[in-house]
Amino acid sequence: MTYLPSPNRYQGMPYRRCGNSGILLPALSLGLWHNFGGVDVFENYRSILRLAFDSGITHFDLANNYGPPYGSAEENFGHLLKKDFAAHRDELIISSKAGYDMWPGPYGNWGSKKYLVASLNQSLKRMGLEYVDIFYHHRPDPETPLEETMAALDLLVRRGKALYIGLSNYKAEEARKAISILKDLGTPCLIHQPKYSMFERWVEGGLLDVLEQEGVGCIPFSPLAQGMLTNKYLHGIPQDSRAAKSSGHLQTEQITSEKVEQIKQLNEIALNRGQTLAQMALAWLMNDARVTSVLIGASKPEQLADSLKCLENTTFTPDELNRIETILQYKP
């Protein structure tokens, strides 16, 4: 059956300006890190993507090695783009990244011009695209000169293979230097994608200030701390969780008794706000004006629908924010 997007798809989603650019991003963007690979179910991730677009999510975020196996998320997305979204390409912001391990040998990792140019060429082929809207360097390379990496990103924009450039996982001073180089090259940095949540707050130690000063957007990933900021761990570690499987980035030893107690107390605040813990955690990130969009994942359409409800209440009282800080015992 031919997919016809909802005619009301832009009515319920807020859009925020990305730094000093002309780009507006939806308050929630969809990441394809998990659940869109070759091991996953086609009809399930197709339903997730359709629901996302019907709900006003225009930004789909990928990387060269998303899967598993590597590259399969881009291949699957390209297949669905052709089948369902070809007529709507100009309504979409599609991003990809390179910087982590992708293929064997010395040229399939990190930040050389050789790797970044080859990787984006491969990504475009997998997705059937002429260009991506945003191309990120996925992580800093301690060995390659920053000037080489940034020059490669600038080159890809000048060749028309990416419209905008982004950084991911760069600390504050690394980001400041990279942003300065890109500005001098004439290809300003559009956006930075850091790991940021109630339980992961290193970005508050300077990075958010740098982005604000430089007019660069911010799109946090892992906003639910790999599922810890959901009701999944209210009573310990369920057998079907990522932590129990120990196959992902969340390990059993991270779910301490202290962490479970924090989760329970945060959940009480969420319930008083008429939200789930996950919805409150997403809204909490949006409460900072420096955050352009929050990158969410979904394993099924129902999970995405639940996350979208966070948009119904994104404001916090000073008392709520103080109570959250006390629970997290955050010390700047």
Tokens of 2: 């031919």
Which residues, in sequence order, are CB contacts of 11 under 8 Å at separation 6+? 56
DSSP summary character for residue 19: T
How many other CB atoms are there within 10 angstroms of residue 216's CB atom? 27
SS3 content of the chain, % helix, strand, coil (to 5): 45, 15, 40
pLDDT at 25: 99
What average pLDDT values come out for the chain (332 residues) when binned by 10 residues? 95 97 98 98 98 98 98 98 98 98 98 98 98 98 98 98 98 98 98 98 97 98 96 76 54 80 97 98 97 98 98 98 91 46
- Regarding the domain delimited by 16-232+285-309, which CATH topology (the fold level of the hierarchy) does it fall under? TIM Barrel (3.20.20)
Q: What whole-number distance in Å separates Cα of residue 103 and Cα of residue 154? A: 23
* Beta-strand pair 28-31/217-218: unpaired
pLDDT of residue 68: 98
Do residues 270 and 277 lie in contact, with contact meaning Cβ atoms separated by under 8 Å? yes
Closest by CA position to 308, among listed 50, 52, 79: 52
Per-residue pLDDT at 230? 95
Structural domain boundaries in the chain: 16-232+285-309
Closest among 174, 278, 281 to 231, alpha carbons compared: 278
* pLDDT at residue 254, rounded to an integer: 75
Kindly give the interhelix angle for 72-80 and 42-54, rounded to the nearest 10 degrees. Answer: 60
To 10 degrees, what angle do helices 207-214 and 172-185 make?
20
Amino acid type, 250: L
Question: Between β-strands 24-26 and 15-17, what pairing exists: parallel, antiparallel or unpaired?
Answer: antiparallel
The two tokens of residue 121 are: 């060429």
Dihedral sign, CA of 178, 180, 185, 186? Answer: positive
Paired residues of 296 in beta bridges:
30
Task: Report the DSSP beta bridge partners of residue 167.
Answer: 137, 192
